[in-house]
Amino acid sequence: MSLILPSYVDVLGAAARLQGHAHMTPVLRSRSADEAFGAQLFFKCENLQRIGAFKFRGAFNALSRFDAAQRRAGVAAFSSGNHAQAIALAARLLGMPAAIVMPHDAPPLKVAATRGYGAEVIVYDRFREDREAIARELAQQRGMTLIPPFDHPDVIAGQGTAVKELLEETGPLDTLFVPLGGGGLLSGSALAARALAPNCKLYGVEPEAGNDGQQSMAAGKRVRIETPQTIADGAQTTQLGEITFEIIRRDVDAIVTASDAQLVEAMRFYAERMKLLVEPTGCLSLAGARHAGVELRGQRVGIVVSGGNVDLARFAELVNPRGSS
């Protein structure tokens, strides 16, 4: 059975549904970044989105399409953090119950925020248990609708609205870097980029320790890996989605990687030079642009900053590991 892939028309529909609910996040510039790259960089700051990450877009779009019976029963989800918060807030705004399966080692900030939005949190061990199976069983027991974090047409279309906004503000870009975990943001971004800037080179950036996307592109099929050990907790995925992979394979030029050390360097840059708090996963795009060997001189370059949900104690530990003052 062939998959039905979302299109840019779906991104436009999502944009209409999100109007008045999602923030139109700023596109920021940095003179020091431009000088370091010899290029013009445009940062789409989804760390300033509701719940602190782009995930609100896809979650609200998906939940806003529920019928009356689905709204009464509510939504189930599984997430390492940002999708959990996004589903929890979207459910609260739309007046429906939410139950979220989260890993035992999810950042405390993300767990607390998810509970704070009124969702029920069910904890599992990400190294020994299957979160999707747990969430699926939960949804079945309670009659809830399961919304996965990335492999869902409405989620993908919602995520694509960020790059739609970016390109409408900046005009066509030469190159665009987007963080990659399960592929929801990258595939949605690809739908928008191919419609609005067809000649733009599009790169996904994933953690060096978890390069399943890069391996999948090379193999021409989805490759599954063990849960990667990386500080980019939002990209600790083991495999791309079926839908996201098909869009990425068709529309993305290449997948590159960034090391944890490079992510820390980017976190420090954002904090010191741009006064932005960015989580490690949100730093993948800048780290990839800086270190992956892509020639960017003289170009107009888009950097999608996907999120900013990092505990302050963890942030301090990462950017200043020796604790020196």
The answer to whether 296 and 289 are in contact (CB under 8 A) is yes
Q: In whole angstroms, what is the distance from residue 147 CA to residue 133 CA? A: 13
Catalytic annotation, residues: 55, 80, 206, 210, 212, 306
Closest CA to 143 of 91, 71, 60: 71
Residue 74, Ramachandran bin (φ over 0: left; ψ between -120 and 50: alpha; else beta):
left
Burial, 76: exposed, middle or buried (Cβ in 10 Å; 0-12, 13-18, 19+)? buried
Pairing status of strand 254-258 against strand 201-207: parallel
Q: Distance between the two ends of the chain, CA-based, in angstroms? A: 59
The answer to whether 210 and 240 are in contact (CB under 8 A) is no
Q: In whole angstroms, what is the distance from residue 258 CA to residue 262 CA? A: 6
SS3 222: coil
Tokens of 314: 């963890």
Residue 150 per-residue DSSP state = S
